[in-house]
A and B are shown apart, each in its own frame.
Chain A
Amino acid sequence: MEITSRQEGAVSIIEVAGRMDAVTAPTFDKFFREISSSEIQAFLILMNNLDYISSAGLRSILMAAKQVKAKNGRLVLAGMKDAVKEVFNLSGFQAILRICESGEDALKELQ
């Protein structure tokens, strides 16, 4: 898995690529904990290049969403491929997370 981040206005954009599984998820946890401990309140996780996610990856996303919520911030996920979207839907996560089709829509919403 590759994780990169950049700042656009007040929004922190985190891009995840490759596979979020039981082996790589802890790397995301560490990365996100550092980013979310800053002053930033708006987060976009871009998944356009994420091929695969398992329950370990879902756990990381849930933890990230809880961290953001705890500081009254906002988190939007965007750009999911079909196989990734299927896993989110089967888990019932679409009901508790904000998910946009495209990164542009998500960014507009967060700005």
Chain B
Amino acid sequence: MRELLRLTRPAHIDNLGGIVECVSQAARAEGFSEHEALRIELVCEEAVTNVMNYAYGDRKPGDMEIACFINDGGQFVMEISDYGPEFNSLDVPPPDMKSDLMNRRIGGLGLHLIRELTGDKNYKRVGDRNVLTLAVLRITS
């Protein structure tokens, strides 16, 4: 794996735009297509907002770290870490995909999008960190 970028930011929604922009620039500089870059931005936003919304509860937001790599298969890989309590977001149950419009619930949709748009995905607890690693699928035509 070749490292492209490593960022540390407070896990606050004000930092979302800046993080997504840095990650997107790294992807585009590597020659990923427009559609692939948008997928990478989406996976990044969903994973990062999840940390921003839940990792630190109501406490003052702690830091989060985002590292980006290219793996041996040429996929864009993001490693997202936080220092919140142990939590594996890959275990979150799938969202409601069946109810009619008025009863449809939105919870879990972000994680569903992550699951659908990534190949290898891994969660591990390393010391006091949650580390989520996601390899975004390329577009094959």
Q: Which A residues fall within an 8 A CB radius of B?
A: 21-23, 51-52, 54-56, 58-59, 62, 65-66, 69-70, 82-83, 86-87, 90-92, 96-97
B14-37 near A? 1/0 per residue, CB < 8 Å: 001100100000000000001100
**Secondary structure of the A contact surface, majority rule:** helix
Indicate if the CB atoms of A52 and B42 lie closer than 8 Å: yes
Bound Cα distance from A51 to B104, whole angstroms = 25
Most B C-beta atoms less than 10 A away, residue of A54, A65, A92, A97: A54
**Secondary structure of the B contact surface, majority rule:** helix
Which residues of the partner chain A approach B106 to less than 8 Å between Cβ atoms?
55, 58-59, 62
Top 7 nearest A-B pairs (CB, nearest first) are A55-B110, A92-B97, A83-B38, A55-B109, A96-B101, A59-B106, A90-B116
User: Which B residue sits closest to A91, measured CB to CB?
Assistant: B109
Which residues of the partner chain A approach B49 to less than 8 Å between Cβ atoms?
22, 54, 56
Indicate if the CB atoms of A23 and B16 lie closer than 8 Å: yes
The number of chain B residues with a CB under 8 A from chain A is 27
Which residues of the partner chain B approach A87 to less than 8 Å between Cβ atoms?
42, 113
* Cross-interface CB contact of A82 among B35, B104, B109, B113, cutoff 8 Å: B35
Indicate if the CB atoms of B38 and A51 lie closer than 8 Å: yes
What would 26 A/B residue contacts be, using CB atoms closer than 8 Å? Answer: A22-B16, A22-B45, A23-B16, A23-B17, A52-B42, A54-B49, A55-B46, A55-B110, A55-B113, A56-B49, A58-B106, A58-B109, A62-B101, A62-B104, A65-B101, A66-B102, A69-B102, A70-B102, A83-B34, A91-B97, A91-B112, A91-B113, A92-B98, A96-B101, A96-B104, A97-B101
Indicate if the CB atoms of B102 and A90 lie closer than 8 Å: no
Which residues of the partner chain A approach B70 to less than 8 Å between Cβ atoms?
none
